[in-house]
Chain A
């Protein structure tokens, strides 16, 4: 199988690991070839030539990491060109900007996404949280995104670390954070001492009629990509930025 990769020229938001890693780890499929990767300036609204290019290459799957207002037009033009039934589309950004609220069901049904949280997760903690959240911010919350919930977990982790350390001193809080866990609407989140990344539950879901249908869940996924190259326990002074080779 092979697939196209779409990325934008904007950096991925904090907290999101590389989209390819997220998408490829939970699935059983082994991708053996990336046909092409394209980057788009954020004000591009015409995806016609790109869609023709995909039609010419006939990949088994297209992976989108498009973000921002202008790029939503890709999903519209993809559907308008009749591509939704022909090449499956996966994304690690679709939905986090409420793309599935502003596009129509015909345009987004079937797009597969992977996040550490979906509003539709049925754990009692989440059902309760979403109910309270919507009661408080009903009119301005069409959908609770992963970005919102991971921020909520992040702040709670910091608060737990401050309580544990008994101070807001930066180094002491960081030390308290190592190995610390909290449980929130997205389940248990632990800060991995080796990488300072988080151990999270990860879900794969499909866009369905302005909602997401959770297809599979992968509890407590370690940040394996970064852990393969970075060990802060062994080298506490490490400050190199690793670029993970996604083709492996």
Chain B
């Protein structure tokens, strides 16, 4: 266990807080000091409010002193991706469009974290409106990967993964539309969980593609991810796609759900384009489960080749619709160069949005436009049905699927300049969003050059307990989660 407070786990820190060996103010001060020390090299945060965090920490210490501590998250500094609303705090989506926006309300996950006593800490950088796989699309500059600051942390939740890996938070939240939690978790060597669609409320999450978006945790261990998930999951009448289901004790499930499990290996996920070092690490993870008595089965997801195209039709169509609200009228950037009211929309949007957002709005508008709707959007929704059926068919025989999270380790800032090559970073993660499944990325090794590698476990709908237990079994037998970057 590391001695530095900023690298310890929620589980460990909660025990120290309960035992009165530590106060939340001390812990929060340590995280603030660490952030101030490394932030010039990482740039994980768009902004942070140290005095606000310390006030929350003092309130937590007062609760604990009065015997009213609220559980494992009480007093733990948790960072939020800058697409999740917190009353009175900036909410920018890393866009010039919302550069001066201050949220007038809390997201449901924010309310839940406050109820759990967490110290909400900072606004984490991301690709603009969560569109990207490297965090280079932020209007406020890129984030560096703590393992090699000349490389990207992944994206779109790259601030969330980098802050955690660098010790600038104890856990963080991100959002995942096509891999935006799992891919940056893999590239930064931390755990990242995308819950089943509908498990966590999207109320107060800036919408990108509403049928795909889910909020989820980044954590140092699977146990910590289970703790945060337990706090943020649950039905919310403010999100009409929120699913009514009992929220189990995910942390307890790590020990009560025991293998051996049946694991499926989708053959399409080990094809051309997969980095050989990543393939080797994931093969070792497969061998580990096999040695534990798990049944390993090759499965096929025959429509995998169509996931990327299906995703880019559906996600851009939904984005073009969702981003229609940024018109310069009620909030957000308003152009001063407009000739008239209609031109005000076009000029405000041109000045407020960055290139990738514009590209996706154009593509989404095109696939929804008259004469093309059936050929693109409707067809993509039908192929989506086939993609989901592939997964559900595979789950008749297996408990979970094991795959690489990303085909490549962290790449150099600026290395992937054309959109299509960057889109290919998501080939192992987007099928999960299209099918609405839960999936987790867990660290499973390092390349020879010292870059983290992640393995993805994909679970059955709303079977997060099982998924977390399977990931925990691997993690407990390996020491990847105990390694920290030298900064």
Partners in one complex: no
Partner-A contacts on B (CB < 8 A): none
Partner-B contacts on A (CB < 8 A): none
